[in-house]
A and B are shown apart, each in its own frame.
Chain A
């Protein structure tokens, strides 16, 4: 690890001196090292090693905070194990904060005190990002989004071509030559976003949502300029880059003068734009931001789309994306949708707010150096799925879809992974 400059150290420490409310100060001073959070972490459950106890991750950041910000830490560092921010601590810090946490937040709910462990980990990541120590693999995904407008670097023409054949498909599917996928339509009620994995690898999920929009009679549009719902800057915790990505989607919504931005099925994407982006940009949005899961539930509840649960006969289970449920409060909607669209639904155990992360969150899918850990943590999810005896795993998150597909293959589960839009589209009565 190269030597840290004084300027880097200063920038890193500035993150901990932030005066944006008392939240950081509170959580850095609250952990009592009881270690009872251990079993709430998928890394600890997978490996059983002490280094994966969430409190260790908090302590990593708090030890630096104590060294520079508290009287006891400055005067008697050994008493608090207060540590210097130097090149010696960096490899451990990167490994623990980027490589051993999916930011799933499960430990937060179960902490005996109520320490927002995930928030502290993100602050630690922010320190590393400020000092220039984001893992190169994760940074390359952020760079792709910054440089090309989407994290998969899909050229605009390729994107348009994909949508053109999806539109042709839609016309045949609904038997209406006027059916369309509207692009860059100003004044639409809904600006729909996508996870770039959809046009690249899973175009059928776009087709499914287009079909739902068609039957709901929605006045919607897609932007060819800025459609990417993801924000890997949220994972790297480089606030400047996360803000830039968020700003682009915000400005596109303003340019198109839409009433609602509907966030595609993407856990971190919905969190980063709905909950974090207004704070990155320090402004309240004057348009509504909702997730597509909420919109789908709304269509069914208001009778805008008619569905028949018997059209999906196979047993379905649900994987709850952490950012959507535990950190986004979308819990009932996906269950409401499944109640009306599948004949045989079974919950995983545990589920909902208690659900285990699939292992792909926190940017893990892009950090290939931690693949082995990611797949080992995924075995926990495989066990959950196996016990349900379901044939289909529904999940409203494309990153989760990606990880679940890999878990499915690695653990020979023999299940199908579907998004909520695909489930709804299959249940629609024309």
Chain B
């Protein structure tokens, strides 16, 4: 195997181990014991937290910021698509030209979404004051990753640079804010557990009392 692929595999391995460490730590600590008498259903609360509670109609952070929300969605899907292409890039895959064009168009959109989010962070003063270098590094690394994912479809010579970007990204991922890849799900779990216990989620209507 070529050195840059080995380097990327090494970085992915390190990333996997560190994320595993975070994951095991979360599992070992577990959910906090709640001594209050349970009123609702934590299972339903967690299910709601992972599904309907994330619907754009439920969140001001989505429906009041549709351009940013849409850019974020496109960007995250682009990242997952890039991860999938990365896995396959370790093998010989003869991509059909239609698929290449589709990936290129989508990832170009996703790349632009990443740039939009980055520019917004730089330009908007309140967001800039909230940000730290990690926010910029994380955004730039992921956006570059997507750009180079497009690149390898069209320019063979970019392969070494692509895998170097991949290596840096994966080494950095468990240390900075990109680890929300894991913590996002833990946060949704805890929120669902908390609101489920207290019967806040799933939300009730007045009909709920008539059924009691």
Taking beta carbons and an 8 Å cutoff, which residues of A are in contact with B? 19-23, 25-27, 29-40, 49-50, 53, 55-56, 59, 70-72, 78-81, 108-116, 274-279, 281-285, 288-289, 297, 301, 325-329, 331-333, 335-336, 339, 352-353
Contact = CB atoms under 8 A, between A and B. Distances in A.
A332 B209 CA distance: 7
8 contacts: A21-B30, A29-B183, A79-B176, A109-B53, A110-B59, A113-B188, A281-B35, A329-B195
B191 interface: yes
B23 to A, nearest CB: 10
Interface string B19-58: 0001001110111111111011000000001000110001
Nearest to A275: B36
A19 B130 CA distance: 28
B88 interface: no
Contacts of B188: 113-114
B184 A30 contact: yes
Contacts of A325: 200
A112 B129 contact: no
Interface centre among A29, A50, A56 (most CB of B within 10 A): A29
B126 A110 contact: no
Interface string B175-212: 11101100110111111001100111001111111001
Contacts of B40: 329
Contact of A327 (B27, B30, B198): B198
A317 to B, nearest CB: 16
A217 B195 CA distance: 34
B183 to A, nearest CB: 4
Given A29-B183, A116-B191, A297-B209, A329 B65 contact: no
B198 A39 contact: no
Nearest to B132: A81
Nearest to A333: B209
B133 to A, nearest CB: 5
Main secondary structure of the interface of B (DSSP, over half): helix
A31 B179 CA distance: 10
Interface of B: 22, 25-27, 29-37, 39-40, 49, 53-54, 58-62, 64-65, 68-69, 72, 124-127, 129-135, 137, 175-177, 179-180, 183-184, 186-191, 194-195, 198-200, 203-209, 212
Contacts of A32: 135, 177, 180
Given A34-B61, A79-B132, A329-B204, A22 B37 contact: no
Contacts of B190: 22-23, 26-27, 114, 116
A21 B33 contact: yes
B200 A328 contact: yes
Contacts of B198: 275, 327-329
Contacts of A80: 132-134, 176
Contact of B183 (A19, A26, A277, A328): A26
A40 B133 contact: no
Contact of B37 (A31, A33, A34, A278): A278
Nearest to B177: A32
Given A26-B190, A36-B61, A80-B134, 11 more contacts: A22-B186, A29-B180, A32-B177, A32-B180, A35-B127, A71-B175, A114-B190, A279-B34, A285-B37, A326-B200, A353-B200
B206 A29 contact: no
Given A32-B180, A33-B177, A279-B35, A26 B186 contact: yes
Nearest to B62: A112
A230 B142 CA distance: 49
Contact of A72 (B175, B186, B191): B175
Interface-centre pick from A25, A26, A79 (highest chain B CB count, 10 A): A26
